[in-house]
Amino acid sequence: MSDPVAILDLFAAVMLAVAVYCAARVILVRRMHRTLHYDVNAAHVLMGTAMAGMLAPSLKVLPNPAWETVFSVLALWFAWRSVTFIARRGVTGRSPDRVHGVSHYLTHLVMSCSMLYMYLAGVPASAERVVGMTMGPAPGTSDFVALPLFFIVVLCASAVWHIDALGRFTPDQVALASVGGEASGAGGGGGEGRWLAPRLEMGSHIAMCAAMAFMLALLL
């Protein structure tokens, strides 16, 4: 794994696997009589697919302007979800599933903004452009070092929190927390049953945070 191309290919494969897994979650959740946040899983599908294409150009499925539009819309969506959540339940409130708080949406807002930044900053970090696993700032972005650093800190903090919480989010514990949960609209899972594979979802989020932080670090 000392070969930078191999490291990029590994991250690309992991991101593609995360995208496929999250797409399967959205397709199968109602058949399994479970629940999840559709918007978050859809965002993971889009982010995983986009990052796989950044890391391995042969996997690119959309031109950069299209991805910029996608992540601009996602950023606006999660900003709106964060604002409405705070308005209804306050900063310390919990969602109807009694599991997630406003940080759930704010983190995905930061992730959407991180993706948008990477496209605007001139990534992809393709193997042909990476030498010794290091890149300088993209042209025109050298004055914005604080922004990717902020994204990296948030992503790392979210990954660490999810790793620490893995032991607390066993299926039985989530089922108990979700009893009596109401449907949460377009962003919710309909309240049909237990949360679908919570620790696998958290693992996917951890992998995505790690890959995104790695890609942002290449711009510093």
Classify burial at 36, counting beta carbons within 10 Å of its beta carbon; exposed 0-12, middle 13-18, buried 19 or more.
buried
- 8, two tokens: 């990029």
CA angle 25, 27, 28 (to 5 degrees): 65
The crossing angle, in degrees rounded to 10, of helices 102-120 and 64-89 is 160
Total count of domains within the chain: 1
Instruction: Give the sign of the dihedral formed by CA 165, CA 154, CA 205, CA 13.
Output: negative
Give the number of other CB atoms < 10 A from CB of residue 83: 12
Q: Residue 38 belongs to what domain range?
A: 4-217
Residue-wise pLDDT tens digits, 152-199: 999 999 999 989 888 776 656 655 555 544 433 334 444 445 778 888
- CA-to-CA distance for 143 and 139, rounded, in angstroms? 10
Coil, helix or strand at residue 195: strand
pLDDT at 138: 53
Tens digits of per-residue pLDDT, 48-69? Answer: 999 999 999 889 999 999 999 9
d(CA 10, CA 15): 9
Residue tagged 């990534």 (tokens):
123
Evaluate if pTM is beyond 0.85. no
Comparing 144 with 207, the larger pLDDT belongs to 207
| pLDDT surpassing 80 at residue 28 | yes
What whole-number percentage of the chain has pLDDT above 70? 75
Cα torsion 201, 203, 204, 206: sign: positive
In this structure, how many other beta carbons lie within 10 angstroms of the beta carbon of residue 116?
19
**pLDDT at position 132, please?**
41
- Spell 148-162 as b/e; 16+ CB within 10 A means b: beebbebbeebbeeb
